[in-house]
Amino acid sequence: MAAGRVLVTGAGGFTGPYLLSALEERGYRVLGLSDSPDLADADAIERRLEKESFDYVVHLAAVAILAHERAADYYRVNLVGTLNLLEALARRGKLKKVILASSANIYGRPARTPVEESATPAPLNHYGVSKLAMELMARLWFERLPILIVRPFNYSGLGQSTKFVLPKLVAAFRSRTGQLELGDTAVVREFMDVRDVAQVYARLLDSAAAGEVVNLCSGRGVRLDEVLERLTALTGGAPAIRRSEALVRDDEIPALVGCPARLKALAGETAFRPLDETLRWMLAWPATQVRR
């Protein structure tokens, strides 16, 4: 049974509660930090961490919504906030592992899929650029901290904001009211289940890997059109769907699917749930209890 205490930043976000449960199942004691104190405030994070004892860190806190209004926030939180955290951690005693959550968005439009970690990054939006900048900055700390950079591909589940596509679709199919406006439905994405993603993070914490980068992915891509078909089959109907040119982004990525070979080497085989199981789980939950 695993031993030790894990500091989780962004514990109050979408992924945080699932990760806390996964870590506790593996015998870890967990210290969960919400997005407060603000990681961009170096003094605040230093004061907060000096009061705590922990052996591991999983850094999830980030601005992650692509349609966020202020581009500067991506860099303030994702880059400067991570820098402040690493500086504070480096002044502590020895840590066993520091996992930094990056993003598959750093790849931009990859030349081929499934994309491997060695692919040249070419992000197309401020979120992806901020995460790539975070990765480059974090490499300066590889000799001082046991850092593992994790690049998660798309995942979803209960509690995710309807600003993300799968919760948006589930909410529309659940209510079947109004009109559902969508952009490009031919795009291909992974749709992993947040419960599986949390388990993978926990297993990576057990691994000896440090000073490297790994995709967190299933290697399974699904067209958004197919997601619509599955939701129609599961619910017996569909809302009125209209293609909106306003929702077609100039920086859209046609296909983003990861190669899981390195992940399997570090964390073992993961039995990612079928998409239908995730959709049934999300559809069955009362709409009033899903965080918006």
Domain residues for 155?
5-289
How far apart are the C-alpha atoms of 126 and 198, rounded to whole Å?
A: 25
Confidence at residue 289, expressed as pLDDT on a 0 to 100 scale: 47
Per-residue pLDDT of the chain (292 residues; tens, 9 = 90+): 457 999 999 999 999 999 999 999 999 999 998 765 578 899 989 988 988 999 999 999 999 887 777 899 999 999 999 999 999 999 987 899 999 999 999 999 999 999 999 999 999 999 999 999 999 999 999 999 999 999 999 999 999 999 999 999 999 999 877 788 898 899 999 999 999 999 999 999 999 999 999 999 999 999 999 999 999 999 999 898 888 877 777 778 999 999 999 999 999 999 999 999 999 999 997 644 444 3
**What amino acid is encoded at 274 in this protein?**
P
Number of structural domains (the chain) is 1
Q: Are 138 and 85 in contact (CB under 8 A)?
A: no
Confidence at residue 2, expressed as pLDDT on a 0 to 100 scale: 53
How far apart are the C-alpha atoms of 210 and 267, rounded to whole Å?
A: 13
Catalytic residue among 18, 28, 56, 127: 127
Q: Tell me if the pTM is above 0.85.
A: yes
How far apart are the C-alpha atoms of 2 and 204, rounded to whole Å?
A: 12
Enter the tokens of residue 197. Answer: 């993603």
Q: Residue 159 CA to chain centroid, in angstroms?
A: 13
155 belongs to the catalytic site: no
Q: What is the DSSP letter of 80?
A: I
How far apart are the C-alpha atoms of 119 and 96, rounded to whole Å?
A: 28
Phi, psi of 15 (to 5 degrees): -75, -30
Supply the angle between the helices 275-284 and 224-235 in degrees, to the nearest 10. 50
Q: What CATH number corresponds to the domain at position 32?
A: 3.40.50.720
Indicate the pairing of strand 5-9 with strand 56-59: parallel
Of the candidates 203, 89, 105, the one whose C-alpha atom is nearest the C-alpha of residue 141 is: 89
